[in-house]
Chains A and B, each alone.
Chain A
Amino acid sequence: MKPDYETQLEKAITDKLKALPELSAPDQLAARVMSTLATRAARPWYRNSWQTLPPAAKTISFLLFLVAFGGLCFAGWKFTEGNTLAKIIPNTSEWFSTLNVIGNTTSALFHAALLALKQLSPVFLFACALIAVASYTACIGLGTVIFRYTKKSNL
């Protein structure tokens, strides 16, 4: 490829693209933006994001958060340090007995499934994996075809 050809092509493409006029924005765009802004303005302050709060409110909320976090850390420390935890554990152990049963059952089922899986041949497992990958790929491919088709229709 001649370097001169590339230079000419680059210049021609630049000229063609730079000569393109601006596209007209949709008529309803300004109205949409203004309506979104009006909706935002009408929203109560506590429903807006933290970044949009006034600086004073931001500082106060940040300090409150720090105090709450510090209090939580202090409470956690006191809770584990003293005898509080030891007093609570005997009472809570009853609550956890149900969870324990669920845990044991799940564990038994998991081990049974693992055992069954070991009995299956590697070829079967490989075929299953292959089917899963093929299905996933087909889904993406189909999605892409639909996307391309609808996009082409929009042009």
Chain B
Amino acid sequence: MTNPQQFEVFMRNYQNMVFSTAMRLLSNHAEAEDVTQEVFLKAYERFDQLHDSPTAGGWLKTVATNLCLNHLSRYRSRWSFFSELFQVGNDTGTEIEFMDSTQDSGKEPAREEEVQLALQTLIPAQRVPLVLYHLDGLTYEEIAQKLGVSLGKVKTDIFRGREALRKKLKLHFE
């Protein structure tokens, strides 16, 4: 039988990782919190296998990613067309407000908060494949399969997402 105290310790060890995964994919605090809760409720059902498993972190991350993708496809696909229309201006030229206004060179390392904010303001169609590629290390093919879209769309969205991030973070290359 699962010991609740043991499970609480387990949860406190992994909750930041799971919440970060959800937050980076969903970009919404309340939704990320709900998904994190759901992940741990699922984890509780198989805590006997997870609590001393070295792959527990990987399992939690995979479940969190899958729940986020399900959530996005379930609740957002219907109005994604409109959402993306309204974000075009944001996506191509508008730059977010930086806390340090003197910083105008991309060679300076952008602060973590700025990167976090820039990532959150990307449209889901660009943010999700970008996170899956750069943070989760998935290949283009795996992302296309997970999202149920074409390989070409994944490549285009990731490229546009990188460009949008570059503009938001004012990165310049030689």
By a beta-carbon cutoff of 8 Å, the part of chain A in contact with chain B is 5-6, 8-10, 12-14, 16-26, 29-30, 32-34, 36-38, 52, 140-141, 143-145, 147-148, 151, 154-155
Contact = CB atoms under 8 A, between A and B. Distances in A.
A140 B40 CA distance: 33
A20 B86 contact: no
Interface stretch (B48-56, B141-149, B166-174): B166-174
Nearest to A33: B40
Interface residues of B, number: 50
B117 A155 contact: yes
A8 B173 contact: yes
Contact of A144 (B15, B40, B83, B171): B83
Contact of B79 (A8, A18, A38, A147): A147
Contacts of B86: 144-145, 148
Given A18-B135, A20-B115, A155-B120, A144 B166 contact: no
A125 B170 CA distance: 54
Contact of A25 (B8, B16, B24, B165): B16
Contacts of A151: 27-28
B67 interface: no
Contacts, number: 108
The 7 A-B residue pairs with the shortest CB-CB distance, nearest first, are: A25-B19, A144-B82, A25-B15, A22-B16, A23-B20, A144-B79, A22-B20
B134 A17 contact: yes
B23 A29 contact: no
Given A9-B163, A16-B115, A34-B7, 8 more contacts: A6-B159, A9-B166, A12-B173, A13-B165, A20-B20, A23-B19, A29-B33, A32-B37
Nearest to B15: A25
13 contacts: A9-B171, A13-B165, A17-B115, A17-B130, A20-B119, A25-B18, A25-B33, A30-B12, A33-B11, A52-B45, A144-B83, A147-B79, A148-B86
A12 B171 contact: yes
Contacts of B79: 140, 143-144, 147
B11 A30 contact: yes
Contacts of B30: 154
